Structures are given as C-alpha cells and as structure tokens.
Structure 1
Amino acid sequence: MIVEQYYEDYEIDSGRLTFGRTITETDFIVHAGHTGDFFPHHMDKEWCATQDIGQRIAHGTLVFSVGIGMTASTINPHAMSYGYDRLRFIRPVHIGDTIRTRTRISEKRDHPKRSDVGFVHEAIEIINQHDQVVLACDHLYLVGKAGSPDRP
C-alpha cells in the first residue's frame, strides 16, 4: 500500500502494532546460512540443553530482520530509511515464540543542512507473545517536506 506522508504529516506518539509471526527452526537455519553465524547458541540443541538458558536462542539479527520486515507494509514515496540507532537485544527469542513489532514516532527535527527534508525518529519495540520487549531500537527516516521537491 502506498501512503503519502510528508514531514509535516508525522505526529509525535502516533504508532502501530503489527500482526505476529512465530519464529521457527527453519528461520534459524536459513538465517544461519545467510549470515554464516552457526554458533552453538543458535544451532546446537543438545549443547544448549547443558547451558543455563536451556534451549537455542534466535540470532539477534534474525529477530531484527523479521521484526522490521513486519513493518514494511506501506511505501511512502517521500521518505527513506536513514538507518537504525541504539539497537539492543533485551530478551532471548526461542523457536516457537511469536513476535510483533510496536512503533511510535518519538521525535522530529529539521535537517541541519537541507531545508527540503527533516528527520523522523520511530521508536521500535519488538515484543514476544507475553508482551515483553525482546528488541528495541530507533529507526531514522529522512522525509521530504511539503512543497519541496522530493529528494529524501
């Protein structure tokens, strides 16, 4: 879906909550293959059973990728991702856990060198089936201002 929003249209504290997605063993295997991260914490069920955590832990980058991917339901032609700040893995995610992503516009600020765009900060919380935050970060957008040529 295309949603046209200019910098001026973003409202502080507005947000959304995605549908859930259950993390599977296949997710672990595919992500390990893509990244090359085959650490036993993610891949070795028997070894993990001997550790305090007791079971395999999802790659933090897997949780991040899936959680952010779930927010990609709309396209705004006036905005583009500028990156992510303060990424934290708060709690482990295991096979069978269901995650959702909660977003909230936390800040807006003018670009220091360009009058045609501004920065919009979106606070991201990925939560599990118990509504516990498992990952948190800030997503920064570069957003065109109304009346300016679109050059985010």
Structure 2
Amino acid sequence: MHIHQQFYEQYTLGDSRTSLGRTITESDIVLHAGQTGDFFPHHMDAEWCKTQPFKQRIAHGTLIFSIAIGQTATQINPEAFSKGYDRLRFIKPVFIGDTIRTKVTITEAVLDKKPGFGKIVEHVEVFNQQDTLVMVCDHILLAKLQSGA
C-alpha cells in the first residue's frame, strides 16, 4: 500500500482497476459468523444446506462486501475520503472455494455542495472465477479540488 495524492480533477470517468483474486474459505465464513453473530444455517450447517436450492453453504453477503472493499484499498489518498456505499446488491451466491476479484470504475464526477470538494462515484463490481457478477455497489468519495475553490 502506498500514498497516492489524487485530487478531484485527476479522476477520469471510465477509468477502472481490477484486484487480484481472493479464494473464500470455510475459515472466512466461520470467523465472520463469530464476528457478526450471524450463525444462520445457510452459512454454518452443511447438512441442512444439502436440502436447500444451492446444496451447499454460502458466504455471508457482508463477508463478500468486506473482502471486496478490502481488495480495492490499494492506496491511501489524503485528498479524498469515503462517504459510504449506495445500491449494494448481492447478485449471486458465493460458495466455499470460490475466488472473487473486484473491479472499480469511475462512473460519476460532479462538484459537491461542500465548497472545495467534488463527489466521485466508483462503481464496484465483484466477480467469481467464472466471471459471474456476484455483488455490486457504488462507493461515494469526496475529493478535494486541486484549486481549493
């Protein structure tokens, strides 16, 4: 991880970056269940899952969100900060052994109502090893204007 100073004016619509892959393990799911208290059988009970449509345990959506966002955190930008995430959707299940990668594309750049800042929207897409889209959301950033105006 490195520091990369990037002001609002330096973001370009359509620019994208894609992470390396990360394989989801049973340990990931068990640890996440312990951290969140979400021990639903969809995640924890292999035998019960055999009776369900997916036939196997699925990763928590919040686990996939957390890992995906971590995959995008490759640089520290002191000129921008996160305002949160919008339109989060879990499209397809992620199973133990699936490998996910995350693609971020700049889809919006507009001046913000807060003087001296612009709003940047990064569209986040998460794909599994078959290039199937499994999760999407929009990351909202506020970035300082280089001019400071």
**TM-score, normalised via structure 1 length:** 0.95
Distance (Å, rounded) in 2 between the aligned partners of 1:117 and 1:10: 13
2:60 corresponds to: 59
2:25 corresponds to: 24
Report the RMSD for the aligned CA atoms in angstroms: 0.9
2:144 corresponds to: 144
- Stretches of structure 1 lacking an aligned partner (at least 5 in a row): none
1:76 corresponds to: 77
Identity score, percent: 54
Give CA deviations for 1:82-130 in whole Å, capped at 9, x if unaligned. 0000000000000000000001000011112x22001000000010001
Cα drift, residue 148 of structure 1: 1.8
Cα drift, residue 147 of structure 1: 2.7
- Stretches of structure 2 lacking an aligned partner (at least 5 in a row): none
2:118 corresponds to: 118
Distance (Å, rounded) in 1 between the aligned partners of 2:8 and 2:79: 8
**TM-score, normalised via structure 2 length:** 0.97
Q: Give the 4+ runs in structure 1 shifted more than 3 A.
A: none
Distance (Å, rounded) in 2 between the aligned partners of 1:37 and 1:11: 39
Q: How many residues align?
A: 148
- Please give the secondary structure, in 2, of the residue aligned with 1:70: helix
